[in-house]
Amino acid sequence: IPADPRDVSVEELLEICDGFLLTGGAPNVHPEEYGEEPTEAHGAFDRCRDKVTLPLVRACVERGQPFLGVCRGFQEVNVAMGGTLWPEIRELPGRMNHRMPPNGTIDEKFAIRHKVAFTEGGVFEALIGAREVMTNTLHGQGIKEPGPRVVIDGEAGDGTPEAIYIKDAPGFALAVQWHPEYNAAADPVSRPLFEAFGAAAAAWSQGRRPAPLLKAV
């Protein structure tokens, strides 16, 4: 999908797509989108993508159209729903460095690096079938304040939010800070996540509401 409002409109996307995977990306959400001034720590931006994805997330939540946010997509979901971001997690007291290694192979950069603990009895525990999992980590920014309807359902060991869903959303509205798309077919954490997202998109394409995943909480 072109991440540029000059090439595509949110309305067009909603009509032709059954679900949306909000991918990662090097540029960050511009801090003006959550009421802050840009600094050097905020890094590069992609204002065109902001103008597509942020209203798209809000529209999907309203309509119940499925989406899954990944890394930057995770951060976009929070900002779209009224939340804010830290520009650099590793500079916060007690936090680990969540960025990928600067050197190494793709496998080394996407290697499993830390634990994520889900809320007991929550959406992600029910979906993945485990209370704690191991994930990769390749991000600099992270959630500062969650939006009013953003539920933090999983955290890294240092307290960094890693899994969220939208409270009372009528459809599949989940996001994760790690990269589940890497080795998705074989990874026991990634596979059920994508299977659930795929099922929700298939249900939408057939004119049915997705399974009531978010009613697990």
Q: What is the pLDDT of residues 126-143, one digit of tens each?
A: 999 999 999 998 898 999
Highest mean pLDDT among 1-5, 66-70, 207-211: 66-70
Range of the domain at 31: 10-216
185-191 contact pairs (CB < 8 A, 24+): 188/128, 188/133, 189/128, 189/130, 189/133, 189/134, 189/135
| pLDDT cut 90: percent of the chain above it | 73
Question: Could you tell me if residue 64 is inside a domain?
Answer: yes
Pairing of strands 20-22, 67-70: parallel
Neighbours of 113 (CB within 10 A): 18
pLDDT interval class at 217 (50, 70, 90): very low
48 catalytic, yes or no?
A: no
Residues 6+ apart with CB under 8 A from 18: 65, 66, 201, 202, 204, 205
Question: Could you tell me if residue 100 is inside a domain?
Answer: yes
In angstroms, the CA 192 to CA 196 distance is 6
CATH number at residue 27: 3.40.50.880
Catalytic residue among 30, 42, 98, 179: 179
60 catalytic, yes or no?
A: no
Question: Could you tell me if residue 1 is inside a domain?
Answer: no
| 211 SS3 class | coil
Question: Could you tell me if residue 86 is inside a domain?
Answer: yes
With CA atoms as reference, report the closest residue to 5 among 39, 40, 46, 64: 46
Question: Could you tell me if residue 168 is inside a domain?
Answer: yes
Catalytic residue among 30, 33, 42, 71: 71
Catalytic residue among 36, 48, 114, 181: 181
Give the mean model confidence (pLDDT) for residues 173-196. 94
pLDDT score at 212: 58
Q: Residue 216 pLDDT > 50, yes or no?
A: no
Q: What is the mean pLDDT of the chain?
A: 92
Question: Could you tell me if residue 4 is inside a domain?
Answer: no
When divided into structural domains, the chain yields a total of 1
In angstroms, the CA 37 to CA 98 distance is 23
Q: Residue 59 pLDDT > 90, yes or no?
A: yes
Give the mean model confidence (pLDDT) for residues 16-31. 94
Question: Could you tell me if residue 108 is inside a domain?
Answer: yes
pLDDT score at 108: 85
In angstroms, the CA 60 to CA 65 distance is 5
Question: Could you tell me if residue 77 is inside a domain?
Answer: yes
pLDDT interval class at 155 (50, 70, 90): very high
